[in-house]
């Protein structure tokens, strides 16, 4: 047989094998998706039997969030201080770092806490609300966030609470309070990511069905009472180690008709949110 014919036969055989593998993979993905959907529906039904209602159509998509490592980045601190204070002087190195500038003073700690105190009326909301002004100011300083609430303490003082976002995802325990007096920003105090998170090897995230079942078990074991899950949000929490480094851990926030709960995204541990 001519070599050209043999080559064509081999190519056809390889093509047939590739097509078979594609069909096999597609079938496995279809079965996996069907199983996942069945598991999600089953979890909601189990919750209903336990007298906890959740609308099936409100189930969130699956999360692929993994644990990430975070190391302190001093250049990010420099940039944030400059954006909020203008040109600054700097003191400290290993632990707390303090910045001073024309607008006031700021400090960063090794655990991610930070604070700024402002003098004068250089940072004034003007026609904007304190929430609008504060969010824009922080985002220009590299602290992407969403506004959680604004509390009016009296006729002249307002406190805006924001929550940091990492690539659009909430970091539940990275929040900051911005205090305004007569429309002028006086202070910022809160928690922030110390640097840019980097993926690291770790446990695979739990699927939504498993998270719901772990939630139910945690609620029952803890003696909590609720009758409806209002919302489920995938996000992160910053956890600190004894060495001063930090991890960004996947967490689900489950809001009920009574109190909110956090469910760890990898081991399913349940605790009441503060």
Across the chain, mean pLDDT equals 88
Q: What is the mean pLDDT of residues 74-89?
A: 92
Q: What is the mean pLDDT of residues 178-195?
A: 95
Q: For residue 125, is pLDDT > 60?
A: yes
Let me know whether 156 and 213 are in one domain: no
Let me know whether 232 and 265 are in one domain: yes
Let me know whether 81 and 176 are in one domain: yes
Check residue 221 and give its pLDDT: 94
256: left (phi over 0), alpha (psi -120 to 50) or beta: beta
Check residue 113 and give its pLDDT: 94
Distance CA(242)–CA(210), nearest Å, equals 31
At residue 249 the predicted structure's pLDDT band, cuts being 50, 70 and 90, is very high
Let me know whether 88 and 184 are in one domain: yes
Extended beta strands in the chain, E state: 68-70, 88-91, 97-101, 104-108, 113-118, 145-152, 157-166, 169-181, 184-191, 198-199, 229-240, 246-256, 261-264, 270-272
Q: For residue 35, is pLDDT > 80?
A: no
Check residue 256 and give its pLDDT: 97
Of the listed ranges 42-46, 86-90, 182-186, 205-209, the least confidently predicted one is 86-90
At residue 88 the predicted structure's pLDDT band, cuts being 50, 70 and 90, is confident
Q: Number of folded domains in the chain?
A: 2
Residue 253, domain CATH: 2.40.128
Let me know whether 239 and 144 are in one domain: no
Let me know whether 79 and 29 are in one domain: no
CB atoms within 10 A of CB 88: 18
Residues spanned by the domain of 36: 3-67+200-272
Whether residue 226 contacts residue 235, with contact meaning beta carbons closer than 8 Å, is answered with no
HSE-CB at 214 with a 13 A cutoff on CA atoms is 21
Let me know whether 181 and 84 are in one domain: yes
Let me know whether 227 and 140 are in one domain: no
Of residues 190, 177, 188, the one with CA closest to residue 148: 177
At residue 245 the predicted structure's pLDDT band, cuts being 50, 70 and 90, is confident
Helix (H) or strand (E) holding 202: none
């Amino acid at each position: 047989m001519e070599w050209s014919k043999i080559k064509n036969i081999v190519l056809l055989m390889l093509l047939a094998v590739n097509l078979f593998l594609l069909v096999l993979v597609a079938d496995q993905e279809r079965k996996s998706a069907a199983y996942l959907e069945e598991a999600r529906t089953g979890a909601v039904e189990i919750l209903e039997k336990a007298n906890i209602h959740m609308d099936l159509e409100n189930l969130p998509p699956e999360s692929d969030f993994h644990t990430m490592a975070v190391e302190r980045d001093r250049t990010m601190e420099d940039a944030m201080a400059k954006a909020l204070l203008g040109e600054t002087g700097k003191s400290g190195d290993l632990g707390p770092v303090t910045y001073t500038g024309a607008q006031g003073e700021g400090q960063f700690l090794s655990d991610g806490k930070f604070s700024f105190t402002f003098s004068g009326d250089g940072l004034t909301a003007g026609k904007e609300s304190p929430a609008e002004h504060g969010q824009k100011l922080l985002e220009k300083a590299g602290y992407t966030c969403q506004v959680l609430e604004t509390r009016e303490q009296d006729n002249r003082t307002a406190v805006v609470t924001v929550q940091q976002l990492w690539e659009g995802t909430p970091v539940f325990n990275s929040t900051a309070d911005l205090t305004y007096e007569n429309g002028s920003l006086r202070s910022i105090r809160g928690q922030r990511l110390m640097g840019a998170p980097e993926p690291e090897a770790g446990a695979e995230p739990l699927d939504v069905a498993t998270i719901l079942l772990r939630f139910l078990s945690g609620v029952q074991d803890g003696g909590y009472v609720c009758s409806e899950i209002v919302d489920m949000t995938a996000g992160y929490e910053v956890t600190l180690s004894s060495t001063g480094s930090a991890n960004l851990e996947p967490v689900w926030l489950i809001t009920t008709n009574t109190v909110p709960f956090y469910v760890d995204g990898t081991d399913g541990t349940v605790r009441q949110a503060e």
